[in-house]
Amino acid sequence: MPEPIVQVEALTKTFVHMGRPLEVLRGIDLRIDQGEVLAIVGTSGAGKSTLLHCIGTLDTPTQGKIRIGKEEITGLSSKRLAAIRNRSIGFVFQFHHLLPEFTAIENVMMPGLIQGRSQSEMRGHAEGLLAEVGLAKRGTHRPGELSGGEQQRVALARALVLSPKLILADEPTGNLDSKTGADIQALFFDMNRKHGTTIIVVTHDRSFAESMPRVVSMKDGLVERDTRNTAIPSYASLKEQGAKLEEKAAEAAPEPAAASDA
Ligand SMILES: Nc1ncnc2c1ncn2[C@@H]1O[C@H](COP(=O)(O)OP(=O)(O)O)[C@@H](O)[C@H]1O
Ligand SMILES: [Mg+2]
């Protein structure tokens, strides 16, 4: 049985704007298992970013529950939330939020340095990830010396550097041309399959969403549809298949030979 990494129950979020309540999330239920990769889609204003921020502990819901792994995060102190966020979650936004005065490699190292990890450990790690996202030769470039797609690759490497269980991406291809966007999409899949990272991507890129094994559609603060395409593999489904194949192999295997009494 796959383990859930995100469980959202009866989640609501109401903003008060100009003295009037605005119900942005109106009762969301969602379970996401470890190793899944999925898209959240829906018209602008449907509440996608708000949901992602609540799951990512960047915002707090009005009512309802969120569990990350086994931990119930609703009601925790902001210090505790920050600890969970740093340990378990990586973010990729539409605009990369890289630090302009630092090189690509320094940007990727940064979350580790902030945590007090050593320069040498983080440098090795960051170099490996930059190579994985196809930027082995761009480590010394500053963000201003990189294309939009390259900047987003750096942002993905940075999101992965502390080996989070979960990556949350909000319109990561929203600012890119379609070819560059497609490359970034492919990279998300690579990272999911290679590292087993669970990835939730908010997107209004139709082809991106259609390439996903699971698409959650939101409308007016509710989940309108939750569809799965089992033909598209994710780390989670491959792992489950692997487990089933192992079971089959075990069933088919001959009984172990009785120990000889020599
Ligand atoms: N901090 C806020 N204060 C008031 N209203 C907000 C705030 N953040 C978002 N909203 C409103 O909540 C609704 C949903 O926003 P959002 O989650 O960003 O939608 P989406 O990402 O699906 O486009 C929008 O109508 C938006 O104006
Ligand atoms: Mg949004």
Interval 171-212: pLDDT, tens: 999 888 888 888 888 889 888 999 899 999 999 888 888 889
The amino acid present at 178, given as its one-letter code, is S
Q: What is the pLDDT of residue 154?
A: 95
DSSP E strand boundaries for the chain: 4-17, 20-33, 37-41, 63-68, 71-72, 89-92, 166-170, 198-202, 214-219, 222-228
What is the rounded distance in angstroms from the CA atom of residue 40 to the CA atom of residue 214? 9
27: closest CA among 169, 171, 223? 223
Place of tokens 């995060």: 73
Number of the ligand closest to the Cα of 94: 2
Neighbours of 193 (CB within 10 A): 17
| Residue 253 CA, ligand 2 centroid: distance in Å | 52
- What is the pLDDT of the chain when averaged over all its residues? 91
Q: For residue 7, is it left (φ>0), alpha (ψ between -120 and 50) or beta?
A: beta
| Residue 197 CA, ligand 2 centroid: distance in Å | 22
Least confident of 106-110, 139-143, 167-171, 244-248: 244-248
Q: What is the pLDDT of residue 233?
A: 84
What is the DSSP secondary structure assignment for residue 195, as one 8-state letter?
A: H
Q: Which tokens is 104 given?
A: 């690509």
For residue 16, give the ligand 1 atom closest to its CA: 4
Taking CA atoms, 134 is separated from 56, 149, 187, 188, in Å, by 27, 11, 9, 13
214: closest CA among 193, 197, 195, 236? 236
Q: Does domain 4-97+144-240 have CATH number 3.40.50.300?
A: yes
Helix segments in the chain, DSSP class H: 48-55, 78-88, 104-114, 119-132, 148-160, 178-195, 206-210, 235-252
pLDDT in tens, 225-236: 999 998 888 888
Q: Which tokens is 120 given?
A: 């040498």
| Residue 170 CA, ligand 2 centroid: distance in Å | 7
| Residue 45 CA, ligand 1 centroid: distance in Å | 6
Q: Is 128 helix (H, G, I), strand (E, B) or coil?
A: helix
Q: What is the pLDDT of residue 254?
A: 63
For residue 17, give the ligand 1 atom closest to its CA: 4
SS3 percent helix, strand, coil of the chain, rounded to 5, is: 40, 25, 35
When pLDDT is cut at 50, 70 and 90, the band that residue 257 belongs to is low
28: closest CA among 72, 65, 68, 81? 65
Place of tokens 């942005």: 24
**pLDDT of 238 higher than 90:** no
φ/ψ of 39, rounded to 5, equals -105, 145
For residue 46, give the ligand 1 atom closest to its CA: 22
pLDDT in tens, 78-136: 999 999 998 899 999 888 789 999 999 999 999 999 989 999 999 999 999 999 999 99
Place of tokens 């500053």: 142
| Residue 47 CA, ligand 1 centroid: distance in Å | 6
Q: What is the pLDDT of residue 244?
A: 77
Pocket test for ligand 1, best of 11, 15, 25, 168 (most atoms within 8 A of CB): 15
**Domain ranges for the chain:** 4-97+144-240
31: closest CA among 216, 253, 159? 216
Give the pocket of ligand 1 (CB within 6 Å): 15, 17, 22, 24, 42, 44-50
Taking a C-beta distance cutoff of 8 angstroms, is the pair 54, 85 a contact?
A: no
Q: What is the pLDDT of residue 262?
A: 44
| Residue of minimum CA distance from atom 9 in ligand 1 | 50
Q: What is the pLDDT of residue 157?
A: 94
What is the rounded distance in angstroms from the CA atom of residue 70 to the CA atom of residue 119? 32
Pocket test for ligand 1, best of 14, 16, 24 (most atoms within 8 A of CB): 24
| Residue of minimum CA distance from atom 25 in ligand 1 | 45
